[in-house]
Structure 1
Amino acid sequence: MLTPAHRYRSDDEDSARWVGFPFRDGDIVISTRSKSGTTWMQMICALLVLGTPELPAPLNVLSPWLDWLAEPQDAVYARLAAQPHRRFIKTHTPLDGVPFDPRVHYVVVARHPLDMAVSLYHQAGNLDRVRLAELTGQPAPTGPPRKRLPVEQWLPSWVDREVDPRTDLDSLPGVMLHLRDAWARRHEPNVELVHYDDLRADLGGEMRRLADRWGIPVAVERWPELVEAATFGRMRERADRLAPDTLGVLRDRRAFFRQGGSGQGRELLDASARARYQERVSALAPPDLLTWLHR
């Protein structure tokens, strides 16, 4: 049995659910940090694997979040076992927390950490915490909701937070831990790194690159409709189908596809805060990774 190097646990997730998972040849594991393009990559995988914009089921059914505690492990395993097509499975766990199998392809999507953090801030305001606690067996929040800082004040505090990255993966140290591990594996034949901004700049080119890497044949005449179906605007229009939220953890499903922009995080920081961000990330990641991530 393949055993990951590390176990990651939070109130909502447990990477130990990967241990013993029966992989198949050609499985695709989508490993991203929150709000870094997870659903976008799930959609790209669905379009490439199935070859049609008319998906047979919602994305969270086709591509379940294996280590999320809101669904029983047996149910997730059974759903994946029943799939006749090539499987593509979601996780927010870094690659060193997932069994590394040479038969499996791993894709990590990276996004500028400041942009990811802004999306994370807005996503946090869209979550029903009471419902989430109910699903994961955690104590329900009590008392009045804590007042949230405006995003302009919250973002510098997110940059400055000193935490254990292995227990707080959505922190800046946690984001960089995830990307640093993937960067170190980028030359492995079954690991792909994808930059969020490359998807924005050349979606068709990135989809073709991934199809080639994964050995997925796509008829030439199908490319225009597949690429169109993967655009952010088209996905937002189909939010009820792509992110149906059958478990009721979102307050607004359409807000899940909020904007998807780039550069918004940097614009919220003044010169001093931007310099502090650069100081922090320079201590958390090698220069070549930062050059690629910030280009």
Structure 2
Amino acid sequence: MPKRSLSQPPPLLSMMTPLQVILRSARAVGQGPRALTVLLQRMTSKDRKPEVFAGHRPAARDVFVACFSKSGTNWAMQLVVQIAHRGAAQFEHVHDLVAWPDSRFPGIVALDDPAPAAGAPTGLRAIKTALEADYVPYGPEAKYVSVIRDPKDVCVSAYYFLTGVFGLRGHVGLDAWVDLALEPGSFLTTWPGHLAGYWAMRDRPNVCVLEFAAMKRELGAAVDAIAEVMGVALAPAERAEVIRRGGFDYMKAHEAQFAPPRLPLLTGKQRGEMVRSGKAGSSKQELSAAQAQRIDAMVLEGLDALGCDFPYAERFMAG
């Protein structure tokens, strides 16, 4: 287990200190949007992506939770972890058990730490990643879980999350955020490529691709699908407990176990919300029709360029 958990206050000096200082300074001189632009560029930069899993050989114990950011990643992680522990996983913070090699935050269990798998009765452990399929090592013995969420909902969720975590809520409005997220090469423009990669893998026996809205409608079916890919046969009581612990009410009540890292120089004692509303289609109340159309047009163009047959218009534009 990591010596420092994400549930604990960060050390005064860490690798995140320079970022906090830069963002705080930018915020003070009215450069919040510019600061957020830099953050988005770092999020989508391809420079580090090939290094994230360098040298890692996927094994039978590995369950990759590979979701686009703000698409139900923590939800899927909780389901995977609870299935791996047959509904009885206990942790101070989920990243005490779940490796997240994409991140440089201190306090996350290492990818090469054997403890999470060794401590699970099934011998399985979850690995979180937001990387596209091309950057995630594939092995037929490993398992892969991905969740597809309407990118319009992703856009709104990411706004509240990122501006909350980095203390920029009062400095960047939603309209400005949509413009930033749709700039070429920025955050949301990578959605088509992310979806296309995992969608193409959906029929493999070790891959489970779910849709966020369908999970909201029938969580039990999602649990069954993930458990099947993981090769775990849950007893009825175990299945019921996984469903209970994977429900919104349970996760919201245990928000601290999924909360993002604290950045005290930016937000004091506050933390951004990881479990905010958990709704599908909520962007309809937040985005203008023109903004929604811009996102849809960008995605349709991107999917067409990739030759992806995901029925986007049917799933996310009907009604």
Aligned-partner Cα distance in 2 for 1:30–1:20: 19
- Normalised by the length of structure 2, the TM-score is 0.73
Superposed displacement of residue 292, structure 1: 6.0
Matched, 1:120 2:158: yes
Q: Secondary structure at the match of 1:28?
A: strand
Structure 1 window deviating more from structure 2 (189-198 vs 269-278): it is 269-278
Aligned twin of 1:140: none
Q: Deviations over 1:44-77 (max 9, x none)?
A: 001101013451452111112112123499x713
Number of aligned pairs? 265
Q: Deviations over 1:32-52 (max 9, x none)?
A: 111111110110001101013
Q: CA 1:9 to 1:287, structure 2 compared with 1: closer, same or farther past 3 Å?
A: closer
Q: Deviations over 1:134-155 (max 9, x none)?
A: xxxxxxxxxxx7963432x236
Aligned twin of 1:3: none
Q: CA 1:99 to 1:11, structure 2 compared with 1: closer, same or farther past 3 Å?
A: closer
> Where do 1:131-146 residues align within 5 Å?
none
Superposed displacement of residue 259, structure 1: 0.9
Superposed displacement of residue 250, structure 1: 8.7
Aligned twin of 1:20: 55
Aligned-partner Cα distance in 2 for 1:254–1:148: 15
Instruction: Give the residue type in structure 2 aligned to 1:148.
Output: H
Q: Gaps spanning 5+ residues in structure 2: where?
A: 1-42
Aligned twin of 2:176: 154
> Where do 1:1-295 residues align within 5 Å?
10=45, 14-71=49-106, 76-80=110-114, 83-84=117-118, 85-128=123-166, 148-151=171-174, 153-154=175-176, 156-158=178-180, 161-164=182-185, 168=186, 170-171=187-188, 173-243=189-259, 245=261, 251=267, 252-253=270-271, 255-285=273-303, 286=308, 288-291=310-313, 293-294=315-316
Q: CA 1:250 to 1:126, structure 2 compared with 1: closer, same or farther past 3 Å?
A: farther
Instruction: Give the residue type in structure 2 aligned to 1:36.
Output: S
Q: Secondary structure at the match of 1:275?
A: helix
Q: CA 1:212 to 1:287, structure 2 compared with 1: closer, same or farther past 3 Å?
A: closer
Aligned twin of 2:31: none
CA contact (8 A) 1:12 1:68 kept: no
Q: CA 1:248 to 1:45, structure 2 compared with 1: closer, same or farther past 3 Å?
A: farther
Q: Gaps spanning 5+ residues in structure 1: where?
A: 1-7, 130-144
CA contact (8 A) 1:239 1:253 kept: no
Q: Deviations over 1:216-266 (max 9, x none)?
A: 011112222221111112101111233373786994347221111121223
Superposed displacement of residue 80, structure 1: 4.0
Instruction: Give the residue type in structure 2 aligned to 1:284.
Output: G
Alignment identity in percent?
Answer: 23
Aligned-partner Cα distance in 2 for 1:293–1:191: 21
Q: Secondary structure at the match of 1:262?
A: coil
Aligned-partner Cα distance in 2 for 1:94–1:287: 17
Q: CA 1:201 to 1:72, structure 2 compared with 1: closer, same or farther past 3 Å?
A: closer
CA contact (8 A) 1:244 1:253 kept: yes
Q: CA 1:205 to 1:248, structure 2 compared with 1: closer, same or farther past 3 Å?
A: farther
Aligned-partner Cα distance in 1 for 2:264–2:46: 17
- Normalised by the length of structure 1, the TM-score is 0.78
Aligned CA-pair RMSD: 3.1
Aligned-partner Cα distance in 1 for 2:44–2:153: 25
Aligned-partner Cα distance in 2 for 1:99–1:196: 24
CA contact (8 A) 1:128 1:249 kept: no
Aligned-partner Cα distance in 2 for 1:242–1:70: 14
Q: CA 1:9 to 1:118, structure 2 compared with 1: closer, same or farther past 3 Å?
A: closer
Aligned-partner Cα distance in 2 for 1:255–1:226: 22
Instruction: Give the residue type in structure 2 aligned to 1:214.
Output: M
